A and B are shown apart, each in its own frame.
Chain A
Amino acid sequence: MRELYGFPGGVHPPEHKTESSGRPIAPAPLPARLVVPLMQHIGNPAKPVVQPGQRVLKGELIGKADGYISASVHAPTSGRVLAVEPHPVPHPSGLPALCVVIEADGEERWVDKTPIEYLDRDPSEVRNRLRDMGLAGLGGAVFPTHVKLNPAPEPNIPLLVLNGCECEPWITCDDRLMQERAPSIVAGARIMRHLLGAREVIVAIEDNKPEAIAAMGEACRDTDFELVVVPTLYPSGSGKQLTQLLTGREVPSGGRSTDVGVQIFNVGTAHALDRAVHHGEPLISRVVTVTGNVRRPQNFEAPIGMPLAELVALAGSPREDTTGYIMGGPMMGFDLHTDRVPVVKAMNCVIARSHRLFPPAPPALPCIRCTRCAQVCPVRLQPQDLYWFARARDFGKAQEHYLFDCIECGCCAYVCPSHIPLVDYYRFAKSEIWAREREKKAADRARERHEFRLQRLEREKKERAEKLAQKAAASKATAAMPTPDADAKRAAIQAAIERARARQAGVEPRNVDDLPPDKLKEIQEIEARRAKLREAMQNPPENTP
């Protein structure tokens, strides 16, 4: 039995797991139209590689990973590309993003599935294949999996942790996945261990999931994986907290769990990795918990790109008093602006919200500095101070107080007796600081370009001056030579003027062969007037004083 170390703080929100955990994962029927966002992971958005009208097969590449921290996107079913256009996506901003819209043909024809022989391939090649398979962390953060499977920056990662804690209330997708597909998860974990070279593997599950614990225990029996049952306490499923819980080592400020030799993957990611490596299937579907104010809460294996409204309808449609949807859990999730958004790789749970289940927060009162937030903060920050600085827009001070170590778990806001939306303030402060850094970078580049331009202008000026000086020197040298007579020059100009005049006078009207006589007469009259004018100009009348 492994000794557990615990982590500071944490809360026990009502679990609400049983609503959806009793029913098996149901495959969602194929929707007629799928909207697949190109930005479903942390990093650069994938670049679209399909054209409207093009036919695609199930699992065919439609968006290519752009750069190292990126992941590819694939067609969730066979059909025809209708458009590549901006479409509402699940994002706290509610802003649209570029998506590939696919009309399903219902045939579900696969591309050639080529499993990855990971054992005798170069690990770097395997990682590139995984990026092209579109793998990203399915716990909700969607960080590209191949990057996490690269032990390069921290060559010594002795411990691999499979995260089956699923500590957020309402969510049960990992629970059901562990119950139903434990062998696949273990197979995925083997691949991870091979790529990372980890000595130890731990499967961590919270003690409120006895069926999942039993199933995973069964699957791990022939392995040296260690199944660790951790006490139910939010946020034990957070990477840094789980690391501390299992090893007693605290992740340093600004660091990652790999800094203390631990790499953590969600169990869903291990399952997806098994599908990709052993079956050659890219990440085109995931298990989503649909719960809250719906008639029949359940987990569904939904294709990426499925409209949320259709997915929710599978769970017996939302009740009449539904006021909206939360993506993710109630602690860390965010409100969706519309149900027209598609299922994405990050969508582990959708909760239909109603005033009955989630009563609107009472108006926020002033902070009374009770420090309850500090007691529950799993990172041992001083949330009341951070709130103070963020509210006053004193971002420098907020950073000094380790704002960026905040994991936005929401424990502080959960216990706040004044109902202050603390995490909203931290998110505001963080995104302001990021925006400033972006601006600063842009300003630095502009300064550099401006200075370069000034330098270039200076150089060009100098070069011109040098050229001029050279020319002047050359003309000085030629000045000694005899120049053509000025009078001769003037005469040549005069001759040229005369020539031009003669040409002008000699102009005959053209295209006059088929004209009626009255028109011809008109032309002749005009020509006569012109000749007179010319004569007058050539012999100007003497000026009369």
Chain B
Amino acid sequence: MSALALALGLALGYAAVRFHVESSPLVDKIDAILPQTQCGQCGYPGCRPYAEAIAKGEADINQCPPGGEEGIRRLAELLGVEPKPLNTAHGVEKPKSVAVIDENLCIGCTLCIQACPVDAIVGAAKQMHTVIASECTGCELCVAPCPVDCIHMVPIQEDITTWKWKYPVIPLKAA
């Protein structure tokens, strides 16, 4: 019996080493909550590194401005901790925006293309660049490198397809 236990124990131990899975499910779960803006405002080079840092306990859950209060609440729920207000040292929650290149001013330097974390800017050296609005995450990383300041962030306007019913407001007094 003890020989069998020993053999199975060894087999299990071997399997644990042999079939070790690198990716941690907790990191995946945290990463799924993060907004994937890839802006780096949290202090990590992208959402996944931040998720890894949270999983290791190195980073706090309130460092993601694009995720906002809602993101913090969901992270707190996942990790079983108390939600806390956003750490403003990392930025403030802003309405979702997209980058727009003023094509009259663009000199075609490709610096913004290199900065874009999701390859949402099209262009080539000495050719005009433009942003693919539907792929832009609004991370603002392209704004600073532009030598002619021709990129600005435009908040996304609500239209009929993205409009949401508002939370019902109940008047306190009868009209």
Contact = CB atoms under 8 A, between A and B. Distances in A.
A97 B38 contact: no
B160 A428 contact: no
Contacts of A444: 36
Q: Give the dominant DSSP class at A's interface.
A: helix
B119 A446 contact: no
Q: Give the dominant DSSP class at B's interface.
A: loop
Contact of A435 (B160, B164, B167): B164
A438 to B, nearest CB: 7
B160 A39 contact: yes
A452 B117 CA distance: 10
Contacts of A421: 168, 170
B118 interface: yes
A424 B168 contact: yes
Given A428-B166, A445-B135, A362 B174 contact: yes
Interface in A20-79: 39
Interface string B17-56: 0000000000000010011111000000011100000000
Contacts of A91: 160, 163
- Interface residue tally of chain B, by bracket? 20 to 34
Interface string B139-175: 0000000000000000000111011111110111111
Nearest to A452: B119
Contacts of B120: 449
B137 interface: yes
B162 A450 contact: no
Given A363-B173, A446-B137, A453 B117 contact: yes
A433 to B, nearest CB: 10
Residue of B164, B171, B172 ringed by the most chain A CB atoms within 10 A: B164
Nearest to A97: B160
A451 B118 CA distance: 8
A425 interface: yes
A363 B170 contact: yes
Contacts of B31: 447
Interface string A69-105: 0000000000000000000010111010100000000
Contacts of B47: 447, 450
Interface in B115-133: 117-120
B42 to A, nearest CB: 14
A100 to B, nearest CB: 16
A450 B117 contact: yes
Interface string A404-443: 0000000000000000010011011011101100110011
Residue of B36, B37, B47, B118 ringed by the most chain A CB atoms within 10 A: B36
A89 B163 CA distance: 14
Contacts of A39: 160
A367 to B, nearest CB: 12
Nearest to A37: B160
Contacts of B46: 450, 454
A97 B158 CA distance: 11
Contacts of B38: 446, 450
Residue of A95, A97, A362 ringed by the most chain B CB atoms within 10 A: A95
A421 B35 CA distance: 33
18 contacts: A91-B160, A92-B163, A95-B159, A360-B175, A362-B174, A363-B170, A363-B171, A425-B168, A428-B167, A430-B165, A431-B164, A438-B162, A445-B135, A446-B36, A447-B36, A449-B118, A450-B38, A454-B46
Given A446-B37, A447-B31, A447-B36, 6 more contacts: A93-B158, A363-B171, A442-B36, A449-B135, A453-B118, A453-B119
Interface of A: 39, 89, 91-93, 95, 97, 360, 362-364, 421, 424-425, 427-428, 430-432, 434-435, 438-439, 442-447, 449-454
